[in-house]
Amino acid sequence: MLDGPEDVCVDKSGAIYTVTRDGWIKKMHKNQSWENWKMIAGPTLLGLTCSIAGDIIVCDADRGLLKVGQDGTVTLLASEVDGSRICFTEAVTEGRDGSIYFTDASAKYGYWEWHLDLLEARPHGRLLKFDPQTGRTSVVLDNLYFANGVALSRDQDFVVVCETWKFRCLRHWLTGERKTEVFVDNLPGAPDNINLAEDGTFWIALLEMRTGGKELIYSSKLFKHILVKIPRLLNRYLKIRQKAMVINVDADGKIINYLDDSTGKVISLVTSAVQSGDHLYLGNLNTKFIGRLALQKAKK
């Protein structure tokens, strides 16, 4: 049983890692047994990735960007940028040169205040980069509407970052003029994590969040004040936990496949989709397992 396994990564040997709400990084071996691999403590572990060196890079929303060695040693890589605290470390990916791109979902509100970021509806999010050679963290993009998942392209000439509240993903070119543009827009759900597939496409996990609910919230100052006091009502009006949605987009942001569990009967609130070999592994916050789907069934 896994408690809210939000994200998934797979190392070179095929071992699967996930983070859980009870503070563990857990590891699944090839015999499909789960090991309590490393206790970090607290419910604030979010995105993770397997590094080239064999370490696990994990986002602790409260503490910052962490590196966990295979010997269990935990190293804090980044907790501030340009003199300001990183408030909400969310998702992470590593480049072939060792550079680490990660998101600060909100530079104003932390993990326990995510609803305030939504209610304020201002671009507090940032895409950051950690340079392992210098130990320095820099801002790649700012003014993002809840910066969430992040992924590098197969050629690593651009990076994609999800803006959850905007129902879109942006592409920032790392070569040439380094411009930023919309990668995919008007998504059928709010994008959470994004992961590069082996064929150069991307898998994006979408949270069902009805736009009508957002419009109702933003139309009434009184209603906003009520939700600040009783944030659990947000789920009722946004219907966040109703279903599971995953899309596959090509390197130009065109949707080429759409998967969903419209009733949430099998799995719901899918937050990440990671391809490894012939299967898609689905992290989520509403079930007690990692979903596993054969790609030949997923490709329509």
- Structural domains in the chain, sorted by start: 8-194 (2.120.10.30)
Q: For the segment 180-205, what is each residue's pLDDT rounded down to a tens digit? A: 999 999 999 999 999 999 999 999 99
- pLDDT for residue 237 is more than 60: no
pLDDT digits (tens, 9 = 90+) for 248-293: 999 999 999 999 888 888 898 999 999 999 999 999 998 899 999 9
Backbone phi, psi, residue 279, to 5°: -130, 155
The pLDDT tens digits for 73-120 are 999 999 999 999 999 999 999 999 999 999 999 999 999 999 889 888
pLDDT digits (tens, 9 = 90+) for 126-156: 999 999 999 999 999 999 999 999 999 999 9
* pLDDT surpasses 70 at 240: no
